[in-house]
Structure 1
Amino acid sequence: MRKLSQEALEVKRAEQAFDRKRKTVGLFGAPLLAILVFMTPIDGLTVEAHKLLSIMILVSLWWITEPVPIPVTSLIGPVLAVVTGIVKESDAFAAFANPMIFLFMGGFILAKAMMLHGLDKRFSYWLLSMSWVGSNPRRIFLAIGLASALCSGWVSNTATAAMMLPICLGLLTAIKDMMAANGRDIDLSDYKYATGLMLMTAYAASIGGVLTPIGTPPNLIMLGFLDQMANIHISFFQWMLWGAIAMVVYFAIAYVVLMKLFPADVDKIEGAEEFIAQRIKEMGSWTRAQKNTLFCFMVAVVLWVLPGFLSMSLGTTSDVLTMYNRLFPEAVAAMAGALLLFVVPVDFKERKFTIKWEEAKEGIEWGTLILFGGGLAMGSMMYKTGLSSWIGDLIVNSLGGEISQITMVAIFSVMALLLSELTSHTAATNMIGPLAITAAVSAGLSPIPVAVGIALAASLGFMLPVSTPPNAIVYATGYIPITKMLRTGVIIDFIGIAFVTIPLVVYFVTWVVG
């Protein structure tokens, strides 16, 4: 990884100064505002709802400003709810045992096993080695993006970007060597194709997350809110119906825009095929651990998608489907695949299994699970105290009382996108999700389209290095001027929201669940 440019260093210093001010303002300003809201009489709110509104203001502002770690803030909300007498202890922390938590946990363990045994790299290099890719820079660009997107549908976008980065750097080194051999010395920090390849890696890693419910936290958060607040269950298969379409179209937009802005100036990258072939050779043949991991992963995937096929073949009211859903809900399917990793042996004589707990626990993003549980807890309390209905009516009335589905989706999708550019998309979803669902219900609309719209929009954080971990990872290489990331991100965000997110969830999602 090359040394940061002067521009990047100046941007980093400015970010650090802003970050410090943001945290300081949030640390003292949020509690003061929460107290002020509590001391102000508000008509239409019960005492419990009024208290919870104050706590929600504190939690939301601390999620945005991050004076303390986001998972810590997620625990503060339920604790304060108990201390102030809003709910009982068992009710406040019930959300931390929500089945969605275990769906995520199973996904984390499976993803850790894939990374631990190199299954993700094997897939990526296999895709890059295909005959249609060759040494063509445009096709290499496409293959890198596809590998990132497809991996991040099952593995975290951060891990995917970190895995793909060395591959991209190796390919760029091959380009630099080829240019030098032809008497042309290039600076990769000013080389358009290098910038485009880095951005493609980051953007595709975020785009791929929309493919499955476990691809990125906002997906599961919104599914959890729908289940808790509207008693609506969206299956793994149903999500993938629109997740696959969203991923393909988002990806196509990103590819076209990046290729247009950052075209390759050569027709062939000499040494690219040799580079990939050498990496595949170094991996050797399939190991027992890799085969075991693939088997366990496929068990989970089959259990996840089988209800969809049963529904299509036997009907939604089939006794077989009902029994299957009772025995193998999504969380159980995830844990079944993950737990198999601990019992399928690599070397039984040595009692060595596919994964050890010491390895698995490193792959579980405990902070994300806590944040997820905290968000569900706050959403549940808002619903039970009537706070969410009050806020929902307030939003609908402020919009004139009559509001269409497309307007509802547009408003909250844009809110989710803008907020996720500045803070964690998980925290942004936790803040906006309950409000959107209750506003939709108050307006007499289905909450499903707006929930899906928020989840999809939250994954479109492409403007700033701080927007997503993949952005930060590739920006650290020094190959991406901040102005180019900002310009490119604005273009893709706008096209994605206006021509994909809103039409997709308003029309296709409504048709699927209708």
Structure 2
Amino acid sequence: MSTAKQDIIAVEAAAEKEPCLETSVPRKAASFRQLLLRFIVIYWRSIVVITWPIVLSPIIIYNNERMYRCLYVVAMMAVYWVTEALPLPITSLMPIFLYPIMGILSTTDTTKCYLNDTTMMFLASLIIAVAIEHSGLHMRVAFLIIKVVGCGHRRLSFGIFLVTMFISMWISNTAATAMMIPIINTVLMEMENQGLGAMFIEDKDDFENAEGGEPAKKPTRATMTYYMIASYASSIGGTGTVVGSGTNLTFKGLYEGRFPHSPGINFSEWMCYAVPPMLICGFLIWIWLQIMYMGMFRPNSKDAQDINIGREGEKIAENVIQQKYKDLGPITWHESCVAILFVLVIFMWFFRKPGFVPGWPTYITSMPFKDSSSAIFVTLLMFIIPANLDFLNSFSKDPSKRPTKPTPGLISWKLIQTRMHWGLMFVLGGGFALSVGSTDSGLSTLLGNALTGLRYLHPVVILFIVCFMAEMITELTSNVAIANIILPILAELCVSIKLHPLYLMLPASLCCSFSFHLPVGTPPNAIATAAGHIKTKDLVIAGIGPSVITLIVLTIGFPTWGSVIYDLHEFPDWANMTMSTKS
């Protein structure tokens, strides 16, 4: 243990001791060094907030050009984001004040960044996800898929992986993980009650969290597998659609904002590219967890024997899933309507500009039509369509059947206010503001020119380095914050070395979602480790496989399969056009 930690512990212990009566020993006075360390530990966020702008001040003192003033704001927000010294949404609002006051962008131009097409797409997709959760449709889909796959440990874990990955394509990764944890708990607890394996065992080496002198509990290796599956599958599944993760929409907004003459990012192309790597990564990660913790290819190992529950155990698990499904009752009008609208919005997204046939908007309007318009249309329908059919009894002869209050819609504004992640909208806007300010002030060109030395490396090598760095950095802080910091830099790097901007930006945005080693890396990791009592060292070890798998698949997959979906072979004219326009 370091000396600093020893000093802090000593101070804490001294503070907690109560003086006895006349026989008490005088408390030892804490040294100034101990008090200073304790002060720093308690107030380090405030210290960062106050001192970091002062530390950065030489940037604008040395050169007060517009691009260096923008660099000052970018550097300040980057550290605030990474350390979370201030809440992410609050940090994201800083350009609204700093840009106009420092002469970087006007207030009007800055605030436009906070509610653009991508932000509206994000808002509407979140509302649709809340409607799916509110109706219970996601639970019905989950139990149906698990029933089809089967309930042996290998098949059950595979089914949970598929379900979590699929649901995470449409709702937030956090919500997908939180939804699957109770299902996992119920199945494992029922098996344990029937004597078919234990969820947790005594951890005789860890008394730190023990209660009443009893040894602490730790998950079995099979139990750890299920909780890690819930976390990893949600992170992988979130890359499958452009609305599946905040980092995907961050990339879309930054890319289309920096390259306004580009074809943009549409839903169908994203799915055609991202779903195959998602499935490959998901299957390989499931195999990795099976080999590590469930004895796959090692039939005589203890891990393999522990999960061999036989037909009796499978029957118990099937009964649990069957009962859970019965508890949902028959499918309701509410669920049916949400399901139909969900399929409708996917259809509208996918066939807006599918590439192989004319998009459906071309038959209706000649105006540019984006995916956010489709999402808002379905959102409006969710407020209009009633959640039940009670209104049909308004003229019933039986007074008891007549409704006494208006029929609510499929979703309500009150529900949105309580369930929406409003803060992420500001984080997206803050990232877009940094991108626009950096480009308009010339900072992006400065950074791009500083990285031109990479032009002598093979593009695949550059891609590997970028993906590796993105995966490592995102282990320590918010995925969206990291995407906001690195994607504008990668855009300028691509322009400087004459490489298609998608070549680095799209894989990097996906890698920002791949946090597998630390609980703080992403909310799904935190939820799974807390629910499963998984130690950080176990998560670090388990995450080695997923990190290597995703890194290899993306490094190989995007230059090959990505080139089939996107024309990556040549540096596009619209990137040159954008660069000359901004200059």
Task: Provide TM-score, normalisation by structure 2.
Answer: 0.79
Match status 1:34 vs 2:34:
no
Aligned residue runs from structure 1 range 352-391, under 5 A: 352-391=408-447
What corresponds to 1:4 in structure 2? none
Aligned identity (percent) is: 25
Q: CA deviation digits over 1:435-460, x for unaligned, max 9?
A: 00111111111011211111111111
Larger relative CO (CA 8 A, sep 6+): 1 or 2? 1
Match status 1:470 vs 2:527:
no
> C-alpha displacement at 1:50, in angstroms?
1.0
Q: What amino acid maps onto 1:404 in structure 2?
A: H
> C-alpha displacement at 1:18, in angstroms?
11
What corresponds to 1:291 in structure 2? 336
> C-alpha displacement at 1:483, in angstroms?
1.4
Pair 25,185 (structure 1): closer, same or farther in 2 beyond 3 Å:
closer
Pair 22,207 (structure 1): closer, same or farther in 2 beyond 3 Å:
farther
Q: Tell me, what secondary structure is at the counterpart of 2:521?
A: coil
What corresponds to 1:179 in structure 2? 195
Of residues 32-41 and 97-106 in structure 1, the stretch that sits farther from structure 2 once superposed is: 32-41
What corresponds to 1:238 in structure 2? 269
Aligned residue runs from structure 1 range 394-409, under 5 A: 394-397=450-453, 399=454, 401-409=455-463
Specify which of 220, 226, 239 is matched with residue 255 of structure 2: 226
CA contact (8 A) 2:273 2:562 kept: yes
Pair 196,225 (structure 1): closer, same or farther in 2 beyond 3 Å:
same
Specify which of 498, 502, 509 is matched with residue 555 of structure 2: 502
Aligned residue runs from structure 1 range 43-442, under 5 A: 47-130=65-148, 132-133=149-150, 135-179=151-195, 189-231=218-260, 232=262, 233-263=264-294, 265-268=306-309, 269-270=313-314, 271-309=316-354, 311-314=355-358, 321=362, 326=367, 328-347=369-388, 349=391, 350-397=406-453, 399=454, 401-442=455-496
What corresponds to 2:35 in structure 1? none
Q: What amino acid maps onto 2:557 in structure 1?
A: L
Q: CA deviation digits over 1:8-29, x for unaligned, max 9?
A: xx9xx9xx99986763553234
Q: CA deviation digits over 1:68-116, x for unaligned, max 9?
A: 1011001012320111121111111111121001111111001001111
Q: What amino acid maps onto 2:185 in structure 1?
A: L
What corresponds to 2:536 in structure 1? 482
CA contact (8 A) 1:207 1:460 kept: yes
CA contact (8 A) 2:137 2:335 kept: yes
CA contact (8 A) 1:33 1:57 kept: no
Q: Tell me, what secondary structure is at the counterpart of 2:387?
A: strand
Point out the structure with the larger helix share.
Answer: 1
Q: What amino acid maps onto 2:50 in structure 1?
A: F
Q: Tell me, what secondary structure is at the counterpart of 2:93?
A: helix
Structure 2 Cα separation of the partners of residues 183 and 246 of structure 1: 35
What corresponds to 1:455 in structure 2? 509
Pair 486,351 (structure 1): closer, same or farther in 2 beyond 3 Å:
same
Structure 2 Cα separation of the partners of residues 159 and 495 of structure 1: 24
Structure 1 Cα separation of the partners of residues 503 and 417 of structure 2: 35
Q: CA deviation digits over 1:263-319, x for unaligned, max 9?
A: 05233335111111111111000111111111221121110001344x2035xxx89
| RMSD (Å) for aligned C-alpha atoms | 2.5
Structure 2 Cα separation of the partners of residues 192 and 346 of structure 1: 43
Pair 320,54 (structure 1): closer, same or farther in 2 beyond 3 Å:
closer
> C-alpha displacement at 1:127, in angstroms?
0.9
Q: What amino acid maps onto 1:411 in structure 2?
A: I
Q: What amino acid maps onto 1:203 in structure 2?
A: Y
Pair 79,395 (structure 1): closer, same or farther in 2 beyond 3 Å:
same
Q: What amino acid maps onto 1:205 in structure 2?
A: S
> C-alpha displacement at 1:505, in angstroms?
1.9
Runs of 4 or more consecutive aligned structure 1 residues displaced over 6 Å after TM superposition: 16-19, 182-185, 322-325
Q: Tell me, what secondary structure is at the counterpart of 1:189?
A: strand
> C-alpha displacement at 1:508, in angstroms?
2.0
Q: What amino acid maps onto 2:153 in structure 1?
A: P
CA contact (8 A) 1:408 1:440 kept: no
Structure 2 Cα separation of the partners of residues 86 and 174 of structure 1: 61
> C-alpha displacement at 1:38, in angstroms?
1.6
Structure 2 Cα separation of the partners of residues 287 and 470 of structure 1: 30
Structure 2 Cα separation of the partners of residues 319 and 201 of structure 1: 37
Q: CA deviation digits over 1:398-452, x for unaligned, max 9?
A: x3x4343223322222222112100000000000010001111111110112111
Q: What amino acid maps onto 1:283 in structure 2?
A: L
> C-alpha displacement at 1:472, in angstroms?
0.3
Give the length in aligned residue pairs: 487
Task: Provide TM-score, normalisation by structure 1.
Answer: 0.89
Q: CA deviation digits over 1:166-212, x for unaligned, max 9?
A: 001111112312326x9999557241100011001100011100010
